[in-house]
Structure 1
Amino acid sequence: MKVRFWGVRGSIASPGPTTVRYGGNTTCIEIRTDDGELIILDAGTGIFPLSQTLLADGPVRAHIFNTHSHWDHIQGLPFFIPLFIPGNHVTIYGAYDPIGQNSIEEILSAQLQYRFFPIRESELNATINYITLREGETVNIGETTVTPVMMNHPVVNFGYRIDSNGKSMFFTGDHEPLYNIYDPEDDEFEMYQSLADQKNDYIIEQIRNIDLLITDSSYTEEEYPAKKGWGHGTFNSCMALAEQAKAGHVLLTHHEPTRSDDALEAAFKASMQKRKYNVPEIDLAREGLTIEW
């Protein structure tokens, strides 16, 4: 399995001289399986430079798994060049929205309305299929299995576990560990704490002994109190998750867009010096980083 990062920033693209080392594009991860399948996790702005590398090898067969529908994870999709080329096949997967009762096709087709984008979906020349997923509903792609796991974010967000030929990885998408929204003296405190513990334990079980964990580490511990409830993790919460799940290699992503490369490295270094958790290997994700095993 081969994993390459094309976008590692969160919330909004942040190109410029201070983000050159880690990159300014929003979330997009390319996965090549041992049997040659192309799986793409999220379609942030990083999917555009990825798409340019695919033009020489046609026809393209791509499987795009959307974690959730916030702009920074979908805004590159209309610029995924293979969508415009006849003979290409693109399958897009994503969560059913129980609030609006919308399929992934209905959710994503909204951004291709003429008021937002000059090319209508009906004008795209590739064969495009949409598959709406429910939690735990596995997808088989060649020798690879992809399993969606519900995470904690202000909108429905799937993390994806990918298993292929004895190798495994998990991407959280945007995720904040569940916490108790009640005060200890409230009647609802114990019940809600039990629910939060059950959900956190469930997520850990879904990723136990994973080879590679890619996870949302947007904030430092000092920043987190002001961002609580926004649906993102911290360096510390990611290390805790990795230790509890016994993950082999951890890559931190969804970097805060206002954080320069220097500031990102300084925040990571400070967190590592204060860390309370034992994680075998942990690094910052950056554009162009490739992991193969």
Structure 2
Amino acid sequence: MAASEIVDDRSHETTGMAGQIVLAATPIGNLADASQRLRDLLSTADIVAAEDTRRAHHLAHALGVKITGKVVSHHEHNERESTPELLTAARDGAVVAVVTDAGMPLVSDPGYRLVSTAAAEGVAVTCAPGPSAVTTALALSGLPTDRFAFEGFLPRKEGERQRLLTELARDSRTLVFFESPHRLAASLAALGEAFGTDRPACVARELSKLHEEVVRDTLAGLVDWAHSKEIRGEIVIVTGGIQAEPDTDTAGQVADVEVLVGSGTRLKEAVNTVAAARGVPKRELYEAVLAQRGR
């Protein structure tokens, strides 16, 4: 099957036949990032469940499409009440497109209750993927991307924020946070207090928009930057994870290997096990064992 046939088949499936919930990502700034699937869904879905109905209409107008289905509110304050109605519509054969103000539904946006309930009740759910401020900021941060965690907005209450950051301070993963402009400097200072002011970090502002700005520095440097200017727009903070201290206890490493060997483990396997546990190169540990034995 040709690639174009695959796309056509999927588009047909998500825009008019079997009832289902479709999570549709919307642009986080640049309208050119809107996918064709989003355009099709807005124009053909039976129901558009929007975080803000006015913004949904504005987005459709900006994209040059007309919403032909029913537009209903689906936000954090009415999600409990609107979820049963949307599930009933999907069961009855309606295509329900879920959109938020920007980015992917459920990511610091409404939709979790709807999806979790749909999954539990066997209602079909699919996704029209697209822009996300989380992965965009992560990719631009210059920090490790192999392991990361998204923590949303930091708690407003100081005690709750301090408890969370104390817990996260020992996390080795790259961490991603959302923040508002007026709280940015205070949040960066709180991160510096918990993680250490020399922790590498990045502030990404107005992603994909005309005034996009990505600032990379230590947390201390970013605090100074945040105090030096008036910050506006949508903001993402990315911080590096804690770096493990190198294990320099060679004698202890060798002793661990010999304990394993003494219990019947082959030397090579013992070296591999200890090297992995201690985070040291296998070759160096093997040579250290041989050197110790040769004394």
TM superposition score normalised by structure 2: 0.30
Instruction: Give 1 or 2: higher helix fraction.
Output: 2
Structure having greater relative contact order (Cα 8 Å, sep ≥ 6) = 1
TM superposition score normalised by structure 1: 0.30
Instruction: Give 1 or 2: higher strand fraction.
Output: 1
